[in-house]
Chain A
Amino acid sequence: MVAPDSSRIKAVIKEFLADPNLTDEQDLNHMVDSLDLLDLVLSVELEFSISIFSEEITLKNFQTINSIASFVSSKILEASVV
């Protein structure tokens, strides 16, 4: 099992969000609109070969760059186990 590289995940997210001023703990709720969030989900799915389900798109998993990275990391681990 390969441990996911958290900095790479964050880099992908930051590149997508395209805002150099965003910090890892900044609340993204109300900053990222619904379609951007959908595009982000589709981008990380493609980038890390994972499947994100509707039920997993929650505020808890997508509130900050850190929480998204942590969630994506767990999905990568889950996929590698399967």
Chain B
Amino acid sequence: MMENQFSTSFPEKTINDLIYIQSRKYNEKPFLISEIDSKEITYFEVDVFTKQVAGHLKGLGISKGDVVGILLDNCIEFPLLYLGVLRMGAVALPLNISLKTRDIKKLLIHSGAKVLFGYSRTMDDLLQTDDGLPQVHCQSVESLNFLSTESIYPTYGDDIGTPAFPEVSYDDVAEILYTSGTTGRPKGVMLSHRNLMVNASDIAKTLRLGDERFMCILPLCHTNGQIINLLAPFMAGGSVVLCEAFSMFSMAKFWQTIDRFKVNIVDVVPSVLSILLRLKLKQKWDTESLKYIICGAAPLPLGLQKSFEERFGHNIVQEYGLTEGTCVSSIDNIGSRRAGSVGRALENNAIRIVDDKGENVAIGDMGEVIIHGDNVMLGYYDEPEFTRETIRGEWLYTGDLGKLDDDGYLFILDRKKDIIIKSGENIYPTDIENILIKHPEIAECAVVGIPHEIEGECPKAYVVLVERAKITAEEIIQFCREYLPNRWCPESIEVVSSLPRTASGKVRKRELKDLP
């Protein structure tokens, strides 16, 4: 029976406190369930295994404030390593496994990571790069046996006779999440224990979470995976079925998995809904357990929402947020959804719509969305200037354009920043442009996001070639693939004689976006 009695708040508590409290409260109740092999990890085991992770890290010389990288897909080890790092006051650095080896290396070096956990195949690739990774201790996850009751690792923390965890404050850095950084300067969003705890707690309260079972098909290296799919259910006493992230195979058995594990809530990005609409089902799966689907990280077209809800009969709850705001800033409330809106601000988060001078615009008028609250990041790692540009007077300038209605419902209308959002992933056109311009046959270039039926947006490059250039569009895409993750590469290339520019020489990207 559903409890639906979210009454627990964790004022001034860190992740270590949270694990201590929840493991004693829910003890033998399963928290993590692997979709692949149905392996279950209870709340009690989360406590034990994360202490073993902490003990192991201590043995490796890691102490409070040291950065520990995690380069894994959605497997049981990911959340245990992540929570173990946070418990002992170290800083987690979740990395996207789809990044190129050289970019992973760049982020490890930039963050000053001391240890990296990953699959042995990835470790081998990293160590085989030109100068290896001399400053990072690489540990393959296959060599860890902390998931065994006969673990060789000492525990660490609150057990009698073991050393106590370092004192971690609510405002210490808990993790660094890189939102970009392939060719431009890496931007590492620093989130504190306060950020994580408050945002997850606000989500759990707003959705009135109890012992619901989540299905996690979003990558745990992203904030949605960590906050909505991991910490919010952990705070509420729920459970999480971990599926391979963004895999077609996971999506192909989406309804089957809901039926198999009697899932109550799934968090997706719009492209997942598009894919599900395109797939044909052989049989009818029992999805009665599903209460609703949370959708965020990218704009959800109203038509897509309607088509999905009509075909499958399950409601979609929209959320809005960004990594710099930890995860969620506003969310629909069940039973009071408003068409086209991304809901109202969370409890510990205020939203304003302002003009270019930072003054409030009238209700219903469009302006930049700015947010304030305990979910606003500490700043960008090692980027004080960029942090000052983004957080002004305690308000985070999101770069999104939107409006609020009389009842405080937020509507996202456009984007101020030059970003392409492809299936919820932020892609910075400058990262692609910086690669394109390296090609000797490309004189000028500009990358814009063009609408894509499933992914929301995709990069398209407009290029001006040098005289007598012979390069083809396909060769340009191939060139990009050598330096960029495949998902960031332009879907199409258009050769033009010149780029439209303003009087000051800036490319008029809006004009390019409006081209047929």
Q: Is the CB of B252 within 8 A of A54?
A: yes
Q: CA–CA, A51 to B280, complex, Å?
A: 8
Q: Is B496 an interface residue when CB atoms closer than 8 A count as contact? A: no
Name 20 extra pairs, CB < 8 A, besides A35-B455, A54-B282: A33-B246, A33-B248, A33-B487, A34-B248, A34-B251, A34-B275, A37-B248, A38-B279, A53-B279, A53-B280, A53-B281, A54-B281, A55-B252, A55-B253, A55-B256, A55-B283, A56-B282, A57-B249, A57-B279, A58-B249
Q: Report the count of interface residues on A (CB-CB < 8 A).
A: 16
Binary flags per residue of A16-57, CB closer than 8 Å to B gives 1, else 0: 000000000000000001110110001000000001111111
Chain A residues near B (Cβ < 8 Å): 33-35, 37-38, 42, 51-59, 62
Q: With contacts A53-B281, A54-B279 known, is A59 near B454, CB below 8 A?
A: no
Chain B interface residue count, Cβ-Cβ cutoff 8 angstroms: 22
Asked whether any CB of chain A lies closer than 8 Å to the CB of B486, the reply is: yes
B497, CB-defined interface residue at 8 Å: no
Q: Are A33 and B486 neighbours in the complex by a CB distance under 8 Å? A: yes
Residue of B nearest to A54 (CB): B279
The distance in angstroms between the C-alpha atoms of A67 and B330, with both chains bound, is 45
Q: Which residues on B sit within 8 Å (CB–CB) of A62?
A: 248-249
With A54-B253, A55-B252, A58-B249 in contact, do A35 and B280 touch (Cβ < 8 Å)? no
Interface pair B248/A57, CB less than 8 Å apart? yes
Q: Is the CB of A34 within 8 A of B246?
A: yes
A-B contacts, 28 of them at CB < 8 A, read: A33-B246, A33-B487, A34-B246, A34-B251, A35-B271, A35-B454, A37-B248, A38-B248, A38-B275, A38-B278, A38-B454, A42-B278, A53-B279, A53-B280, A53-B281, A53-B282, A54-B253, A54-B255, A54-B279, A54-B281, A54-B282, A55-B252, A55-B253, A55-B256, A56-B282, A57-B248, A57-B249, A58-B252
Q: B120 within 8 Å of A by Cβ?
A: no
In the complex formed, the residue of B with least CB distance to A58 is B249
- Chain B residues with CB under 8 Å of A37's CB are 248
- In the complex, what residue of chain A is closest to B485 when comparing beta carbons? A33
Q: Which residues of B contact A57 (CB under 8 A)?
A: 248-249, 252, 279
Interface residues of B in 238-282 (CB under 8 A from A): 246-249, 251-256, 271, 275, 278-282
Complex Cα spacing A9 to B247, Å: 24
Complex CA–CA separation, A68 to B283 (angstroms): 22
Known: A33-B486, A34-B247, A59-B249. A52 touches B280 (CB 8 A): yes
